[in-house]
Structure 1
Amino acid sequence: MFDSAACVFPWVQKWDFGYVRRVGVAVGAEILIGGLLVSVAALAALARVLSIPYPIVLVLGGAAIGFVPGLPHVELDPEVVLVVFLPPLLYWAALSANFRDMRENLRGLTLSSVGLVLATMAAVAAVTHALVPGLSWPAAFALGAILSPTDPLAAGLVMRRLGVPRRLVSAVEGEGLFNDATALVAYRVAVAAIVGESFSLGRAGLVFVAGAVGGIAIGLVVGWLIMAVRRRTTDAQVSLTISLLSGYAAFIPANALDASGVLAAVTTGMYVGIRGVPVLPAPTRLQGVMVWDILTFLINAVLFVFIGLQLPSAVEGLAGHTITALVSYALSAAGVVILVRLAWFFVVPYIIRAIDRRQSQRARRVGARYRLVLAWSGMRGSVSLAAALALPLTTEAGAPFGPRGLIIFLTFAVIFATLVVQGLSLPALIRLLRISDDGAEEREELRARLAATHAALAHLDELAGQEWTHEDSVDRLRRAYEYRKRRLGVRTGKISDEGYEDQSLAYQQMVRAVLEVQRVTVLNLRNEGEISNEVMTRIVREFDLEETRLEI
């Protein structure tokens, strides 16, 4: 075609059609990425309208998009999830974790992150090995390891929206933070057996302990180095860039040294979370929270859409199985995953109570209603799918790894079942059990704000007598903190209201109205060319910060 065109249009001969093809591929990739982001935004907005956790809507939407005729097939490289997407998610989750609740619930967290993962892996392996003809023990254990880690995002969103006590939210999120490490180490041992390496229980235990200790050690070293660098960094953009790369700085070296990259990233995040607040300047912390909130939402949203898009791939390569058999395998795998978790939360606590009768242990007990919610919050997600897709194509002898397609299908089926069935029914279960916020977190916040305000007033008294302070400035600042102290006192019940809260709300409404007038004035000056866009942005940002302070 191009030769005949060149006869009529000689300048066509000068075209680099390889370049044209490359441009076409690039444009196609841009269209695909743009379409994916538009889909994420639309599905997330739909989830908000329907009051459904957005991971569920994203998975369903991705599955629907995956079967649209004519659309290109999207392959999800497991390395992208495990090396590109996972480290920042782990780092930020650890950075913002509730350290006190995790410390108080350390035993339960350890049992769930290790014991429950291994119990789930063993149960899934036993059932699928018995049920699926020809499924070897190494393949069955690989499937069990793949299905054992939880993804707490959907459950956490439901719990926060319904005002579940903080202790439950911390338990679910803490478990999801650490069980990936156990599952991925077990997965690595099972895959080694698949490709022909010798297996022994002692060697598997040694690999697990070495990986865990190595990951924690690397995470501590990287965390210390990051804080040493950030202490000497005054530029907010540079400090934020270091923050965004911190998860990778821990995860990648740990993986290269056969240690647990998951534990390395989590340890680094926890170290920086504990040590970072006194070191980092306020503008850096404010920018960091905003950037991380957007980044983690986008990463999670894209991952859940990708999970749905993998459905066409999940049903490929299953020609040797009937639909009836596939459905029975999927229901069995999902049922085992759910039932093992239910049994764990209703059997293990009583074993612990029988062994440990100390008063301190009794204070940590969780009632049956709370345990049922925890047991029903075991959704699976992106880590499971990435591990399934990372299974080898062949064994060490070069023979095709036959069960690979079936394992991918069963993984998708369990992710789908737990996200949709458990995710959609969890709100109804919470309402049925009448579990609501106990107000502990709000009371703690008010106490902390009041203590900080008292400290500020005491320090103002110390500053008042110094030469460099001005009496008017000190009085103005003292009045502001006295106002805050009275308002917090009303909210804590230490000061009678006497209409003060109504006055406070009226004051906030008045300040917001004045700030809005100022914003409009500055915007009009920009539109009329009196000031630059940069000046307008800087001034409006100050108004926004002032309005945000009204919530304190």
Structure 2
Amino acid sequence: MLEQYLFIAMLIAVLMLAGRVTARRLGVPEAIPLVLLGVGASFIPGMDAAIPPPEVVLNIYLPLLVYRAAFLTAPRESREDAVPISVLAFGLTCVTAVAVAAALNFAIPEVGWAAALAIGAAVAPTDPVAATSVMQRLGAPRRLVTILEGESLVNDAVALTLFGLALAALEDPVSLSEGALTLLRVVAGGVLYGLVLGWVIARVRLRIKDVGAQIVVSLLTPFLAYLPAEHFEFSGVLAVVTTGFYLGVRAEGMLPPVSRLAGKTFWDMLAFLLESSLFVLLGLEIRHVVASVADYPVFVLAGVAALAVAAVVLARIGWTLGVFPLARWLPGRHLSFDEIGRSERLVMGWAGIRGAVTLAIALSIPLDVPHRPLLIFIGAVVVLVTLLGQTTTLPRLMRRLKLGESDEEAAEEAEARRETTEAALARLDELAADDTVDERTADVFRQLLELRLDRVRALLDDEDDESTEGAREVREELAKAQREKLDQLYESGRVSEEIRRRLTHELDLEHHRRSSAS
């Protein structure tokens, strides 16, 4: 049995790598080859053991994915755009869930409203990465990206709360007033518990100096938020979101730079493993799902899937174009909606791509829920259609609407680098004047900072493409020479493996910084 599970784990890892390579070569979303490879692997004898129980997806995958998204949320931007984010995250998520439930009930009434609302809640939240990664690469307006990222965080919590209420209604139907009181208790309890836990974890992490221990605590945090909250019948997802947001806002002052860097690397890799494995697991399960819905006529399945996709897409476009602008009349202080024109709202509507969270919710539907295979089938179709259709057409739409030509982000980053470097130089002069550091040491650091400042000023002066490309080639050659020299020093026994690894890591960080900036 152990050998079987080890074989399955290695095979899934190979499929994840193959899917990533295939996606990059074909220029398609990674989910497509991952699902197809999973379908192919499902024909291997014994692969049924790889399909996890719904509780595993609900209690392991979802807390980790939601916590990472909450931790990385930009607090100032989200606060400034709280009204437009809320209009999308609360209003549109509920409308989408109800629209999909109504479409499913119209096509197959025997499914029932509770089960239909469960899959409606599953397909309601958007993916925070799929659309915004495309938009950032094309230089979309920053505010548009911020709103979409903020929406994708909050609507996860809203959708999962609706999902939990729908599952509860399947087991024990309640009246409208009872449902409202339950919702209030679930939401308030989850938020309050998340705040208390965030406060406690922050104090604990302030006392931890070891990087490895910091990562272990960060890995435990989403489960400490989710599982106890669910045990006391609060919203575990809201507890995770609240805890993650509370800690993310305080990360810079709470954690030393080396812990932040190691933590980011760890969570980026963990997110890749979780999201990729989810799509492979869908591929493994989809053959059984298709076999389970074989009793339905093909035209019924196609019609239901088409209705669900249409409800998801049209509800979002109608909301962003028609309802979203009305939020300007809501009370409270928020940024002007005049800056979000029709073109931005159309892109916002078309960027409603579904991804790993939708998939995780759909796969977490309990086994005893009536018509479960049909519900998973609908969720899978919505994810694949929006990923393949909207991700590939979003760049073309943005170019047509001329929303992908902004250099504001790069200019602001370069300006920030210039001012922070100048601040460091000024502080160095103060230390030298006070004799805190000797002049020789000050000169060494001054030269390093001035070299960095010269590079930033060159970017701000907008060098021509040829010189920038030439500078890039020179940097690559210099980095290559440094790596080769490090290897020579190690082979000759003049430096240890630890020193070689440390200096190589610094070169990797520098390469990553330049790649991100370009």
TM-score, length basis structure 2: 0.89
Any conservation in 2 of the 1:56–1:423 contact (CA below 8 Å)?
no
- Is the 8 Å Cα contact of residues 138 and 193 (structure 1) preserved in structure 2? yes
Deviation of the 1:514 alpha carbon: 5.2
- Asked if 1:431 is matched to 2:407, the reply is no
Query: Contact conserved, 1:231 with 1:279, CA < 8 A, in 2?
Result: yes
Mapping of residues 450-489 of structure 1, within 5 Å: 450-489=418-457
Deviation, 1:99, is 2.2
1:112 is matched with 88
Say which one has the larger Rg.
1
CA–CA distance in structure 2, aligned partners of residues 503 and 140 of structure 1: 55
- 1:59-84 C-alpha deviation (Å, 9 max, x unpaired): 34334444x46462342322222221
- Kindly provide the amino acid, as one letter, of the partner of residue 394 in structure 2: L
Correspondence for 1:85 among 53, 58, 61? 61
1:238-293 Cα offsets, whole Å, 9 max, x none, are: 12222222222222222222222222222222222221212322222222222222
Q: Which residue identity lines up with residue 342 of structure 2 in the other structure?
A: A
- Matched with 1:381 is 355
Q: Which amino acid aligns with 2:298?
A: I
Correspondence for 1:242 among 217, 227, 249? 217
Structure with the larger RCO, 1 or 2 (CA within 8 Å, 6+ apart) = 2
Q: How does 1:243-262 map to 2 (within 5 A)?
A: 243-262=218-237
**Contact 1:314-1:412 at 8 Å conserved across structures:** no
Residues 550 and 121 from structure 1, CA distance in 2 versus in 1: closer, same or farther, beyond 3 angstroms?
closer
**Partners of 2:469 and 2:110 in 1: how far apart?**
71
Within 5 Å, give how 1:298-309 maps onto structure 2.
298-309=273-284
Aligned equivalent of 1:280 = 255
Aligned residue among 117, 134, 142 for 1:166: 142
**In the alignment, is the contact (CA less than 8 A) between 1:307 and 1:382 conserved in 2?**
no
Instruction: Report the equivalent of 2:497.
Output: 533
Aligned to 1:315: 290
Find the partner of 1:178 among 147, 151, 154. 154
Taking a change above 3 Å as real, the CA distance of residues 544 and 324 of structure 1, as seen in their structure-2 partners, is closer
Distance 1:80 1:440, change over 3 A: farther
Matches within 5 A, 1:64-213: 64-66=40-42, 68=43, 70=45, 72-73=47-48, 74-195=50-171, 197-213=172-188
Distance (whole Å) between structure 1 residues aligned to residue 396 and residue 68 of structure 2: 30
Paired with 2:336 and 2:66, the residues of 1 have a C-alpha distance of 32
State the alpha-carbon separation in 2 of the partners of residues 542 and 380 from structure 1.
37
Residues 307 and 175 from structure 1, CA distance in 2 versus in 1: closer, same or farther, beyond 3 angstroms? farther
Distance, in Å, in 2 between the alignment partners of 1:254 and 1:358 is 31
Structure 1 residues 372 and 464, CA, compared in 2 at 3 Å: closer, same or farther?
same
Q: Partners of 2:398 and 2:39 in 1: how far apart?
A: 28
Following the alignment from structure 1 to structure 2, what is the Cα–Cα distance between the partners of residues 405 and 208?
Answer: 28
> Retained in 2: the 8 A contact 1:393–1:404?
yes
Residues 211-250 of structure 1 correspond to what in structure 2 (within 5 A)?
Answer: 211-250=186-225
Q: What is the deviation of 1:532?
A: 4.3
Instruction: Give the corresponding residue for 2:320.
Output: 345
Paired residue type of 1:330? A
Q: Is the 8 A contact 1:116 1:341 kept in 2?
A: yes
How far 1:457 sits from its partner (Å)?
A: 1.9
The CA RMSD measured in Å over matched residues stands at 3.0
Higher mean C-alpha displacement, 518-527 vs 34-43: 518-527
Q: Deviations over 1:345-386 (max 9, x none)?
A: 111124334x35999653554122221222122222343344
C-alpha distance in 2, partners of 1:478/1:361?
41
Contact in 2 for aligned 1:165/1:439 (Cα 8 Å): no
Identify unmatched segments of 5+ residues in structure 2.
none
Distance 1:359 1:174 in 2: 17
- Sequence identity, in percent? 37
Partner Cα separation in structure 2 for residue 412 and residue 514 of structure 1: 48
Judging changes above 3 Å, is the alpha-carbon distance between structure 1 residues 131 and 161 closer, same or farther for their aligned structure 2 residues?
A: same
CA distance in 1 between partners of 2:487 and 2:7 (Å)? 35
2:260 corresponds to 1:292: no
Q: Which moved more, 1:38-47 or 1:457-466?
A: 457-466
AA matched with 2:219: L
Number of the residue aligned with 1:406: 374
Distance 1:100 1:122 in 2: 32
Contact 1:124 1:140 (8 Å CA) reproduced: yes
